[in-house]
Structure 1
Amino acid sequence: MSSSRIGLGLDLGLGLGLGLGLGLGRRIVAVKPITVPVPGRSVDLQVKVTAPLSGRNLPVIVFSHGNAWSLDGYEPLVDRWAAAGFIVVQPTHLDSRRNGIGWDDPRFATIWRIRIADLHAVIDGLGDILVQAGGLETRIDRERIAVVGHSWGAQTAGAILGARVLDADGVPGEDFSHPAVSAGALIAATGTGDTLTPFAAEHLPFMRPDYSTMTTPALVVAGGRDRSQLSTRGPEWFTDAYHLSPSPKSLLAIAEGEHTLGGLAGETVAETTDEDPARVALVADAVSAYLHDALKIDGAAWTALNDTAATGDGTWSIVGK
């Protein structure tokens, strides 16, 4: 059964003194669940669509969640993106805790590929998905599609942007990029695989991204206190997607940010170790501003954000190449 939710969009830069103004007072609606046909998938692929109640020629964000999450998470991000004028589509990947697939399940070894296939299925099936979301297919701008992901979802989104996975011999794997995607954002993205912990090397051998082929424009977001139990390196591990990929790229570095960067999946959930709604708003609004610029909608908010970073107190910074 489908359900819907209506809320009020927030002002871009709320509590941050940015004054960028995207989405002030815009009402949004969410529709879920929508089933996307995927032959051979052991569990139905379901998505949630969140969008502004009004507006036409709307750009699209396809969002990939972190490990164990689902279409029901990340409202602090998704609601602000919809208020900023995006149609946001959130699939529930096979690793969602609601599917009960643990490390030792034989399906787990291929979930990283299924995640990528999920995003392809969503992008290829956008028309039908948006019909089921209440006629949104007439309000989409098909020339402006972006992918965004957090944590494992960032590696998944990175593959759509052109990153590949190295095998045990260091040979790049398949090209999973999608031609319809023009830009993206990677939040707390996996770094290179040469410093994986023994657990990660055994259970997550696919966590060996090669960013040298990730040519699509992207914003990388990293926290200065994000210390992963999957790598022996420190927080700089999460900046590899920026440093090792070709331009054009931008890096938003948040000095006090931990892995959920203030509570991206939800401020009060167990994974949130550094609860800070203002930090979440910064991440959400930076992604909106970057994508408005990268998708050639309006660059004013991204310019203003960069100007603020240049004169700020160093708690967060933006660099580009």
Structure 2
Amino acid sequence: MSDPVSEAGTIPVNDSTPILAYGPLVLDVPGRPVPLAMKVSAPATGTGLPIILLSHGHGMTTFLSSLRGYGPLADFFAAHGFVVVQPTHLDSTALGLRESDHPEAPTFWKSRPAEISFIIDHLDDIEAAVPGLAGRLDTTRVAAVGHSLGGHTVALLRGMQTRDPADGSTVRVPDERIKAAVIIATPGEADEQTNQDMLNNYPVNKYNDFSTMGMDALVVAGDKDLNPMFSDRLSYRWDAYTRAPGPKTLLMVHGAEHIFGGISGYDASETTDEDPERVSTLRALIWAYLRSQLYPDDPAWNRALAAMGDFGTVEAK
């Protein structure tokens, strides 16, 4: 008989509670081709709850890259005290806009951070719309977590600079209302080892510039996350740490590929390195980092590092 999957690996976390999930919650965004739909997951009890805005990746599956994905992360964060808001960005396959003539297709990279900031603008509306959530949010403690293209979204919100391929204008859209951020396996900076076909298909990646990303962040990378369709350089996926100024923290996960064992969905077929225990440990480490960033007196991050074992390595600058 096999052992059950753990909730948090070896990482100490607080007790889990039942959660409530509500969605789709829909907001009209001026100029957006479709309304902004999102899922809100929250602990069933408690007040003064901090918030995580969870930005999905650009994966090819239909629903993982939408409000319906990333259940292993969203459910865990909600069970351990966060309210998690998951928008469906315009690049979601479920919306059918990737092949449209919209000027931002297929990635809608510029709309994504604007949508996150729009959600922050309307947290009071979201709180009022979700049954049982009124009066329970702490809107001063907002975090953002993004994976892959979602990591690019969060990097922009932390001050990364890029250029709009459509007109050559500089784009820098930091949002200082976000008090903590986690950037997971985001695209790096272009160089001679970057795949030219990828840059032709996703031209914004020609101009990613982390030198302007001065806000703090946890950068999560896998030491097996090498995809020649993006770059022949393994370190491409942690440029958000090495090419950005401090303060930054790098969590290098041993043996992890791009989906880190399955963070994008339960039993997701896109996972090339399926490992439920890796998911359990990673989500607990992210939780601990966010707790200590949002509550500086909380020792969760130091306790997590002490319990991490050989899961990975951490460095900071």
TM-score (ref. length: structure 1): 0.88
What's the C-alpha RMSD, in Å, of the aligned pairs? Answer: 2.1
Q: Which residue of 2 aligns with 1:14?
A: 7
Q: 2:138 aligns with which of 131, 141, 150?
A: 141
Q: Is the 8 Å Cα contact of residues 73 and 265 (structure 1) preserved in structure 2?
A: yes
Q: 1:95 aligns with which of 86, 91, 94?
A: 91
Shift of 1:138: 1.1
CA distance in 2, matches of 1:214, 1:74: 26
Q: Which residue of 2 aligns with 1:201?
A: 199
Letter in 2 for 1:190: P
- The C-alpha deviation readout for 1:279-303, integer Å capped at 9, x for no partner, is 1112211111001111125532200
- 2:10 alignment partner, SS class: coil
Matched, 1:59 2:57: no
Q: Which residue of 2 aligns with 1:264?
A: 263
Shift of 1:167: 5.8
CA distance in 2, matches of 1:200, 1:249: 27
Shift of 1:21: 2.5
Q: Which residue of 1 aligns with 2:29?
A: 38
CA distance in 2, matches of 1:186, 1:197: 22
Question: Residues 280-299 of structure 1 correspond to what in structure 2 (within 5 A)?
Answer: 280-296=279-295, 298-299=297-298
- The C-alpha deviation readout for 1:19-63, integer Å capped at 9, x for no partner, is x122x2311111000111201111111010001111111111111
Letter in 1 for 2:235: E
Letter in 2 for 1:48: K
Q: Which residue of 2 aligns with 1:300?
A: 299
Q: Is the 8 Å Cα contact of residues 223 and 235 (structure 1) preserved in structure 2?
A: no
Q: Which residue of 1 aligns with 2:313?
A: 317
Q: Is the 8 Å Cα contact of residues 164 and 172 (structure 1) preserved in structure 2?
A: no
- The C-alpha deviation readout for 1:104-139, integer Å capped at 9, x for no partner, is 744406711111211111111111012111252411
227 and 138 in structure 1: CA distance in 2 versus 1, 3 angstrom threshold = same
Question: Residues 129-278 of structure 1 correspond to what in structure 2 (within 5 A)?
Answer: 129-166=126-163, 173-194=170-191, 195-207=193-205, 208-278=207-277
Q: Relative CO higher for 1 or 2, CA cutoff 8 Å, sep ≥ 6?
A: 2
Q: Is the 8 Å Cα contact of residues 64 and 153 (structure 1) preserved in structure 2?
A: yes
CA distance in 2, matches of 1:39, 1:127: 18
- 1:155 alignment partner, SS class: helix
For structure 2, list consecutive stretches of 5 or more residues without a partner in the other structure: 1-5, 60-64
Q: Which residue of 2 aligns with 1:6?
A: none
Counting matched residue pairs gives 303
CA distance in 1, matches of 2:124, 2:100: 37
- The C-alpha deviation readout for 1:184-237, integer Å capped at 9, x for no partner, is 001111111224312211110112321122222211110111112442333311
Q: Is the 8 Å Cα contact of residues 35 and 47 (structure 1) preserved in structure 2?
A: yes
For structure 1, list consecutive stretches of 5 or more residues without a partner in the other structure: 1-12
CA distance in 2, matches of 1:104, 1:146: 32
- The C-alpha deviation readout for 1:128-181, integer Å capped at 9, x for no partner, is 01211125241111211111100000001111111111467xx88222111211
- 2:54 alignment partner, SS class: strand
CA distance in 2, matches of 1:43, 1:186: 27
CA distance in 2, matches of 1:34, 1:320: 38
Q: 1:28 aligns with which of 12, 19, 34?
A: 19
Question: Residues 114-129 of structure 1 correspond to what in structure 2 (within 5 A)?
Answer: 114-129=111-126
